[in-house]
Amino acid sequence: MKKYYLSLIQICLPIFLLLVAANFVHGQNEINIQQEINVLGQTKPIPVSIEGFGAEVRDILKFDLYVQGFTFVTPDAAQYQISGSSTGNVVGRVVDRFGRKTILSRSYNGATLRRQAHAFSDDVVLAITGKKGIAQTRIAFKVEAPSGNGEIYVADFDGYNAQAVTHDGVIVSAPSWVPGRAALYYNSYKLNNPDIFYHNLTTGERKVIAHYSGSNISPAASPDGSQVAMIMSRSGSPNVWVANADGSHLRKLTSTSEDSSPCWSPDGRWICFATKIRERRLLAKVPAAGGKVQVIPTPGTPNPTEPDWSPDGKWIAFTMQAGEFDICVMPADGSASPTILVRGEDPSWSPNSRTLIYARRIAGQYKLSLLDVYTKQVKDIRQISGSDSEPAWAR
């Protein structure tokens, strides 16, 4: 009898250990997946169907919704059924198939079909998610010619209705919106020096706010528009400086090395930037009122640069350079390591703190793309001739 029990143990024990090991490995995988979901709020796309619209409006709706986390299925597989018409004007309706109720029914007029479709798209997003849509927002970016000269452009978020802001035929860079206003800061060599201009898009008025010896680059307006951060080398190394919106009351915030790409926290208290400390490229932040520089750790993502703080304050997107350029996102409070999202550079958050616009290099030129951070869904926007880069989203 003892031999029988011993044999049974000898047979079952290895099987038991294998099962434990398998469950341990499976559990480890589940923990890793769950951690990523917790960090990014990652979810599956929301399944919707679209019926009844003309081709133009249907394509606009699909573009707008795709980059905000929706996917398109047949009506019988959809969680939400979107239907309507676009003969003369857009008429749209959204039915919650599971709740068996209409959650949106509206007609649109007084604008082009494209703008009506964008308006309906924003209403769809609000009705389904409770969040404001981004289809009626605008972007600014640089269009560069092969000569290296270029112009600053503004456009709808999908690249349509693009208009040149500058017509100088010089080197330009780093457009930055003044929050809540039709105005930009940007860098231009119009006066044969890298200077910072303020440009009112409504009146066309523009003026130089930083024309000092050395570089005056990378302007970034504060959330309330009362101040502007910039990188200036007037004291030697490029450092972070802050001035009033008109360039007055200039003050230096950092004495680190090779600072670049400042951006503001949404509450206006901090300025995040890229720098070099002990020969290492890092992200850091400094109080906007002045104070000690604090390093922001980005483990696993070397050479971080081009940070952008999300409007809701939760995330910092940035570019990592490790041979190639990649877009990364991390919690602004440093509570988790960065997540590498997609190949590209120079990310800018949309007002919904969910979608990023960024530049990616293709065949020696840049084009702009939109990324839904939670689903990893990507769409290219309409391209202007030349190389389109350095996007900034109006907020």
Residue ranges, comma separated, of all CATH 2.120.10.30 domains in the chain are 138-393
Domain range 46-129, CATH class: alpha beta
Is 278 or 139 the better-scoring residue by pLDDT?
Answer: 139
Q: Give yes or no for residue 138 having a pLDDT over 50.
A: yes
On whether the CB atoms of residues 316 and 272 are closer than 8 A, the answer is: yes
Q: Give yes or no for residue 122 having a pLDDT over 60.
A: yes
What's the average model confidence in pLDDT over 351-377?
95
| Token couple for 84 | 């309507």
Q: Could you report the per-residue pLDDT of 182-206, keeping only the tens digit for each?
A: 999 999 999 999 999 999 999 999 9
What CA–CA distance (Å, rounded) separates 371 from 214?
36
What local confidence, expressed as pLDDT, does residue 324 receive?
A: 92
Banded model confidence at residue 25, pLDDT cuts 50, 70, 90: very low
Q: Give yes or no for residue 86 having a pLDDT over 70.
A: yes
What's the average model confidence in pLDDT over 304-321?
97
Q: Give yes or no for residue 63 having a pLDDT over 70.
A: yes
Banded model confidence at residue 40, pLDDT cuts 50, 70, 90: low
CA count, 13 A, side-chain hemisphere, 333: 5
CA count, 13 A, side-chain hemisphere, 223: 16
What CA–CA distance (Å, rounded) separates 37 from 15?
33
Given the candidates 1.10.10.10, 3.40.50.720, 3.30.565.10, 2.120.10.30, the CATH classification of the domain at 138-393 is 2.120.10.30
pTM: 0.88
- Mean pLDDT of the residues in the chain: 90
What's the average model confidence in pLDDT over 319-331?
95
What local confidence, expressed as pLDDT, does residue 384 receive?
A: 86
Q: Where are the alpha helices (DSSP H) in the chain?
A: 2-40, 55-66, 113-129
Q: Which residues contact 220 (CB under 8 A, 6 or more apart)?
A: 176, 185, 228, 229, 230, 262, 263, 264, 271
Q: Could you report the per-residue pLDDT of 45-57, keeping only the tens digit for each?
A: 999 999 999 999 9
Pick from 242, 216, 239: which is nearest to 227 by CA?
242
Q: Which residue has the tokens 């907020």?
A: 395
Residue ranges, comma separated, of all CATH 3.40.50.11830 domains in the chain are 46-129
Banded model confidence at residue 20, pLDDT cuts 50, 70, 90: very low
What's the average model confidence in pLDDT over 332-340?
94
